[in-house]
Structure 1
Amino acid sequence: MSAATRRRVVVTGIGAVTPLGNDAPQTWTSLLAGRSGVREITTFDASTFPVRIAGQVTGFDVKAAIPDRRHRRYLSRGAGYGVAAAVEALQQAGALAGTDPYRRGVSVGGTVGRVGLQELADMSWQLESTGHASIYRQSPAEVLTRDQNVAPAVIAEIGDLRGPFIAVSTACAGSAHAIGEAYRRIEEGDADLMLAGGHDALTTWMDVLGFALLGALTTDDADQPGRACKPFDARRNGFVLGEGAVMAVLEEREHALARNAPILAELAGYASSLNAYRITDSPPDGGGAISAMRDAVAASGVGPDGVDYIVAHGTGTPGNDASETVAIKEVFGAHAYDLLVSSPKSMAGHLTSAAAGLNLLAALGAIEHGVVPPTINLAQPDPKLDLDYVPGAARRRDVRAVLVNAFAFGGTNACFVVTAHTRSD
């Protein structure tokens, strides 16, 4: 699509339920203050586990956030966060009365549901005790709770969103792909408004044990959880699992102006790629992250030198942080040293499918308030990682354009550019 015919996309609402707060303003305040939401795990007894900490949501009341019992009946823990964040985003975006519901859609990233280990154990016991395979019966409610489509379906019902319906599961890039594909639907004319983001809650004993056995999680600072996640630090040795949801309302610019919606920023470019390298490791040469970043910046029209801030994927694993730094230098050249780069995961942990949504929230806050959230726990710089990662404390900066990065298990990459919006554009 040519620049002349391209439809512009703006952000008119944002909602969040994260380890840093149960709404978007609380989450932003915690990000700005460098306040950690990593704490001892409470979703199960982790006392005998090699990893006993996670970024966990606290004080969240699903009944208060989603009053209608019908809407929360089949929601999993993570899906509850997602619906609550969506309601907040829709409320900020304002009344949609008079707009066409068939031009409004939903695009959500989340982990595909699966049978829990306890259920597998029950199946195994039944097989051994009966001596033959038999059907393990489950109620429809149990099956629906694990269905990835339930949260976006509930969101669609609440918002009367009858247009495009997208549910993606691309691990740690899930919300980036969901936001990017929603952006494309609006840009190409398939929708005027899309509710987009991600949710996840991989704080179960199966998920923690699985990631721990992979060697992906840090075992440091179990007695001081807030210090555990150390992106870009020389001592980094793994990430911290988190949970939560961030949802945004994306809207065609003229559509938003016509209904006098609050415009928070503009989504100006999106691109994705695949490393085709290894399932769990980032390529040392930057791999497909380079093309995703470069293409997103090119699509935005701001140019590499026009980007002020990068919200990094920044997990705290040795390979990811090194690979991302190499990619940034390759894409931005000498300008890489003028950029500010920071990682919200240092405070919230890794929200997996919701991680890029949190990065979007950081980008919006930086543009609105002219201040970049820090990377906390960066006390011992790695000489090979020599960019400005905003260590320790937030930094004042006039931010006009932000690149959001998301890189996932399986080697999938998704990046998008967020820019300041002015009504005179």
Structure 2
Amino acid sequence: MKRVVITGAGAVTPLGNTAASTWRALCEGRSGIGRLTVFDASSFPVRIAAQVRDFDARAAIPAALGPGRLGRAGRFGVAAALEALRDADAGPGTYPAEACGVAMGASVGRPDLQFLVDTGLLRQRTGRPDAFLRQAPRQVLADNQNLPLSAVAQALDARGPAIGTSTACSGSGHAIGEAYRCIQEGDADLMVAGGHDSLTTWCDLLGFSLLGAMTSEWNDEPERGSRPFDADRSGFVVGEGGVAFVLEERDHALARGARVLAELVGYGSTLNAWRITDSPPDGSGAVQAMEAAIAESRLGPEGIDYVVAHGTGTPGNDLSETVAIKKVFGEHAHRLVISSPKSMAGHLTSAGAGLNVLAAIGAVRDSLVPPTVNLDTPDRRLDLDYVPHRARRTRVSAALINAFAFGGTNTGLVVAAHPEET
């Protein structure tokens, strides 16, 4: 199998509109959660979210790629991918077009939920079952998850593999993992991989609220709302954004003089076959994904120093993930450092795993582990080291990245220091 390295990173998140600013905010323990502004949420049970701010899509995305045709989430993803390409000093001509590809995780393309609700109200009001609101063709395109993928391919002149994944909160984990496989197996020399999402519409928030998945207890103190592993956790805080990376075949990357950020050495993907919204109490599914990623890395459990947790702040998920980590690592679980970027950035859903990969790369590179903020009250059932409140200086030679999703899909990825960069 060919070796795969990460040579570029890009991000548009509630913590910053670049990978560097996002990483700084994570290390500073700075929250990107605030009151919802994308719609009037004053009558909603949940009135907070982690939103991207001060982002200018037309400045970040060339006119030739049609930023006006992209939806909100797609703009985040394309901007992150373009930053990653710049960071890797890669573009058209770096490799043959057929050796370059794109893999992006995103929520499945669908009409805006507001549009569907308005259409339903129109039919109810008119009594006509065939009544339908007019929708511009451009809007139909904007709702398609493949449009951002195509824009990134156009920017790179990529004519190799094109992979779009829609596996909810593990979407970017699957996209990065499948891009890794493409390079390992010789189907590509370079892949742009990551994810983007923006589920901050009123229908999305109402749906998550009705499921009981979101916290409604911190509307007056938004920055305290996301509380992974804390005894007072009561649900996740929705976020939005895009995160992307450039993955390359190692020998080719070194031959062209690319700077290596880290090496991707393991990937596991599983399905719980349990419940749509709940994690299995015994951690199954997550256990198998972590074990598969670690086995492929050949590092063994004790070769992992840091676990970037899925860590949503829902009561069941955090307990299930802790149980799973203990099963996978045994006694070594108590020597690990574990933290959740969602405590600061909220849940970026399809882009969440990408943010966790960014945290892992930074930890390996800088020997600095971002904290889990808001971990004020220990839960006696959660007795591992979740790095509360402040970033910690510690050597990280390898990190495991977790992502678990509604529907029961799980991914594990292992990122390690590249020998030449150590």
TM-score normalised per structure 1: 0.97
**Cα distance per residue 1:161-208 (max 9 Å; x no partner):** 111000000000000000000000000111001000000011111111
In the alignment, the residues of structure 1 paired with residue 139 and residue 281 of structure 2 have an alpha-carbon distance, to the nearest angstrom, of: 42
User: Are 2:102 and 1:106 aligned?
Assistant: yes
> Shift of residue 118 of structure 1?
3.2
- Report the secondary structure of 1:365's partner residue: helix
1:9-158 aligned within 5 A? 9-68=4-63, 70-96=65-91, 97-128=93-124, 129=126, 131-134=128-131, 136-158=133-155
In the alignment, the residues of structure 2 paired with residue 132 and residue 305 of structure 1 have an alpha-carbon distance, to the nearest angstrom, of: 62
Aligned match of 2:406: 409
User: Are 2:238 and 1:241 aligned?
Assistant: yes
- Of 64-73 and 171-180, the range deviating more from structure 2: 64-73
* Change in CA separation of 1:69 and 1:209 when aligned onto 2, cut-off 3 Å: farther
User: Are 2:195 and 1:208 aligned?
Assistant: no
In the alignment, the residues of structure 2 paired with residue 247 and residue 70 of structure 1 have an alpha-carbon distance, to the nearest angstrom, of: 17
**Cα distance per residue 1:129-169 (max 9 Å; x no partner):** 26342455422111101101001000100111111000000
Is contact 1:116–1:206 with CA below 8 Å preserved after alignment? no
In the alignment, the residues of structure 1 paired with residue 80 and residue 157 of structure 2 have an alpha-carbon distance, to the nearest angstrom, of: 16
1:17-416 aligned within 5 A? 17-68=12-63, 70-96=65-91, 97-128=93-124, 129=126, 131-134=128-131, 136-416=133-413
Given residue 324 of structure 1, which amino acid in structure 2 is its aligned partner?
E
Question: When the two structures are aligned, how many residues end up with a matched partner?
Answer: 420
Given residue 15 of structure 2, which amino acid in structure 1 is its aligned partner?
L
Is contact 1:39–1:53 with CA below 8 Å preserved after alignment? yes
In the alignment, the residues of structure 1 paired with residue 90 and residue 246 of structure 2 have an alpha-carbon distance, to the nearest angstrom, of: 12
> Shift of residue 271 of structure 1?
0.6
* Change in CA separation of 1:304 and 1:385 when aligned onto 2, cut-off 3 Å: same
Given residue 86 of structure 1, which amino acid in structure 2 is its aligned partner?
A
* Change in CA separation of 1:135 and 1:91 when aligned onto 2, cut-off 3 Å: same
- Of 378-387 and 215-224, the range deviating more from structure 2: 215-224
* Change in CA separation of 1:209 and 1:257 when aligned onto 2, cut-off 3 Å: same
Is contact 1:367–1:419 with CA below 8 Å preserved after alignment? yes
Given residue 338 of structure 1, which amino acid in structure 2 is its aligned partner?
R
> Shift of residue 65 of structure 1?
0.5
Is contact 2:65–2:155 with CA below 8 Å preserved after alignment? no
- Of 373-382 and 216-225, the range deviating more from structure 2: 216-225
Runs of 4+ with >4 A deviation: none
- Report the secondary structure of 2:23's partner residue: helix
Structure 2, gaps ≥5 residues long: none
Given residue 68 of structure 2, which amino acid in structure 1 is its aligned partner?
R
In the alignment, the residues of structure 2 paired with residue 412 and residue 131 of structure 1 have an alpha-carbon distance, to the nearest angstrom, of: 40
> Shift of residue 221 of structure 1?
1.9
In the alignment, the residues of structure 2 paired with residue 44 and residue 395 of structure 1 have an alpha-carbon distance, to the nearest angstrom, of: 37
Given residue 254 of structure 2, which amino acid in structure 1 is its aligned partner?
L
In the alignment, the residues of structure 1 paired with residue 129 and residue 401 of structure 2 have an alpha-carbon distance, to the nearest angstrom, of: 52
Is contact 1:229–1:236 with CA below 8 Å preserved after alignment? yes
- Report the secondary structure of 1:423's partner residue: helix
State the percentage of identical aligned residues: 60
* Change in CA separation of 1:256 and 1:137 when aligned onto 2, cut-off 3 Å: same
TM-score normalised per structure 2: 0.97
In the alignment, the residues of structure 2 paired with residue 394 and residue 131 of structure 1 have an alpha-carbon distance, to the nearest angstrom, of: 59
- Report the secondary structure of 1:386's partner residue: coil
- Report the secondary structure of 1:179's partner residue: helix
* Change in CA separation of 1:424 and 1:382 when aligned onto 2, cut-off 3 Å: closer
- Report the secondary structure of 1:287's partner residue: coil
- Report the secondary structure of 1:73's partner residue: helix
- Of 61-70 and 350-359, the range deviating more from structure 2: 61-70
> Shift of residue 121 of structure 1?
3.6
Structure 1, gaps ≥5 residues long: 1-5
In the alignment, the residues of structure 2 paired with residue 251 and residue 226 of structure 1 have an alpha-carbon distance, to the nearest angstrom, of: 37
- Of 215-224 and 412-421, the range deviating more from structure 2: 215-224
* Change in CA separation of 1:371 and 1:118 when aligned onto 2, cut-off 3 Å: closer
Is contact 1:309–1:339 with CA below 8 Å preserved after alignment? yes
Given residue 369 of structure 1, which amino acid in structure 2 is its aligned partner?
D
